[in-house]
Structure 1
Amino acid sequence: MTIVKIENVRVLDPIRQTDGVQTVYIENGKLVAESAQISETIDGQGLWLMPTMVDLCARMREPGQQQHGTLKSEGKAARENGILHVFTPPDSKPIVQDNGALIHGLVEKAMLDGGIYLQVIGAQTQGLKGNQPANMAGLKKGGCTAVSNANAPFADDDVVIRTLEYAAGLEMTVVFYAEEPQIAKDGCVHEGFVASRQGLPMIPALAETVAIAKYLLMIEATKVRAHFGLLSCGASVELIKQAKAKGLPVTCDVAMHQLHLTDQLIDGFNSLAHVRPPLRSEQDKELLRQGLKDGVIDAITTHHEPLSSSAKMAPFAETLPGFTAFDTFVPFGLQLIHEGLFEPLQWVEKVTVAPAKVANMYDRWLAEAGWVLVNPALEWIITKDSIVSNGKNTPLINQAATGKAVRTFTA
Structure 2
Amino acid sequence: MNEILLALSLLVVLFFLLGSGVWVGASLIGCAIVGMELFTNRPTGDAMAITIWGSISTWTLTSLPLFIWMGEILFRTKLSETLFRGLTPWMYRLPGGLLHVNITGSAVFAAISGSSAATVATVGKMSIPELKKRQYSDRMIVGTLAGAGTLGLLIPPSVSLIIYAVTVNESIAKLFMAGVLPGLMLAGLFMGYVMVISFIRKSGDTDDLSFTFADKLKALMSLSPIIALIIGVIGSIYTGVATATEAAVLGVVGSLLIAIYHKSLTWISFRDSLMGAVKTSSMIAFILMGAHFLSLAMGFTGLPRHLAEFIGGLDLSPLMLIVCLTIFYIILGCFLDGLSSIVLTMAVIEPLVRQAGFDMIWFGIYLMIVVEMAQITPPVGFNLFVLQSMTGHNMAFIARAAFPMFLLMILAVFILVWFPEIATYLPQAMR
Q: Which has the higher strand share?
A: 1
Length-normalised TM-score, structure 2: 0.24
Greater gyration radius: 2
Higher RCO, 1 or 2 (CA under 8 Å, sep at least 6)?
2
Greater per-residue helix proportion: 2
Alignment TM-score, normalising by the size of structure 1: 0.25
